[in-house]
Amino acid sequence: MKKIKKPCGFHCVRIRDIGVQIGGQVILEHVSLHLHCGELLAVIGRNGAGKSTLVRAILDDVAHTGSVEFRDTENGGMQKIRIGYVPQSLELEPNTPMDVYDLIASFRYDTPVFLRKRRVCEEIAEALAEFEAEDLIDRRLSSLSGGELQRVLLSLAVMDRPNLLLLDEPLSGIDKNGMDLFYEKADDLRKNYDMAILLISHDLDYVAKYADRVVLMDKTVLAEGSPAEVFSGEAFRHVFGSAGPDAAKGAGSVLARRRARRTPEKEERYEAGYKGRSGKDGLS
């Protein structure tokens, strides 16, 4: 994906009054957000706060009320929004024969994947190179580490030059080096591409470092502002039991250091144990 232009500031995404009910249970209500191109908005909250459901609603993957609008205020009028998406994980069969080229080509092109064309190979390699993943083009998906797979998915997500990039807790099982690289690349996208980024995250230290704004959710928007404003607010202390922004950053740093010492195979057991110690309202 070639850089087309830096954020112009004229494009914005409005998420208006999103609500979701499943089986009569309210999952989200009256969620409204406003994102500009060149902005990274981080959404944080406890388990069950509805963060991933918000992403599914934006993608029209779950029935919802409200709307998602994209406005080009430079030219005026409404346009159809283009959305890129990186999920929490990708379920793969252990012996799947699909490689990275097959995955991207099947989503991005009409050409059968077994008919490899030079132009398609070059375009895919160029997209992967943006995230230091061009050497993975012929690797089987099942052989990739968590960090490698996320770089591949991020490459795919931005190939269509989206107006809005959704990152739904994409770093589970990734070590600190992988997390550093991922956030650096997300920061590069924010600064150098004409898109808005909505990130679901529980890595508070990274949120504090990279996010322009933070939204704290618990079925609805509890607080919104800069990382310092949200971390020091009463709503944050109520949700996370923190004494203030320093404690919030400290909590995020502890989690990051613990992840750096864990292997992906231990990730699931650790998260289960952490949630058990923290109760059902642990970080998500």
Task: Give the model confidence (pLDDT) of 116-151 as tens digits.
Answer: 888 899 999 999 998 889 999 999 998 888 888 888
For CA atoms 211, 84, 152, 263, the dihedral sign is positive
**pLDDT value, residue 186:** 85
Mean predicted lDDT score pLDDT of the chain: 79
The arrangement of strands across the sheet holding 213-217 comes to 83-86, 164-168, 196-200, 40-44, 213-217, 221-225
Q: What is residue 268's three-state secondary structure?
A: helix
Closest among 135, 137, 96, 130 to 116, alpha carbons compared:
137
Q: Residue 27: inside a domain, yes or no?
A: yes
49 in a structural domain: yes
Is 113 part of a structural domain of the chain?
Answer: no
Number of domains the chain is built from: 1
* Higher local confidence (pLDDT), 96 or 278: 96
Give the CB-side neighbour count of residue 27, counting CA atoms within 13 A: 20
Strands (E), the chain: 11-22, 25-36, 40-44, 65-72, 78-79, 83-86, 164-168, 196-200, 213-217, 221-225
Section 48-74 average pLDDT? 88
- Is 32 a domain residue? yes
Instruction: Provide the phi-psi class of 185: left if phi over 0, else alpha when psi is between -120 and 50, else beta.
Output: alpha
Strand, helix or coil for residue 13: strand
The token pair at 171 is 């770093």
- For residue 164, the 8-state DSSP code is E
Higher pLDDT, 209 or 3: 209
What's 62's domain CATH number? 3.40.50.300
**What percentage of residues in the chain have a pLDDT greater than 90?**
41
Per-residue pLDDT for 265 more than 60? no
Q: Whole-prediction pTM value? A: 0.76
What pLDDT was estimated at residue 4? 47
Name the more confident of 283 and 266: 266
Contact between 57 and 64 under an 8 Å Cβ cutoff? The reply is: yes
36 within some domain: yes
**4: Cβ contacts below 8 Å, ≥ 6 apart:** 161, 193, 194
Q: Which domain holds residue 66?
A: 11-82+161-278
Q: Could you give the CA distance from residue 113 to residue 107 in angstroms, rounded to a whole number?
A: 10
Please check whether residue 212 lies inside any domain of the structure.
yes
In a domain, 92, yes or no: no
In a domain? residue 2: no
> What average pLDDT does range 74-88 have in this prediction?
75
Higher pLDDT, 199 or 275: 199
- What residue type is assigned to position 244 of the chain? G
Q: What is the mean pLDDT of residues 28-53?
A: 92
**188: which 2 tokens?**
């590069």
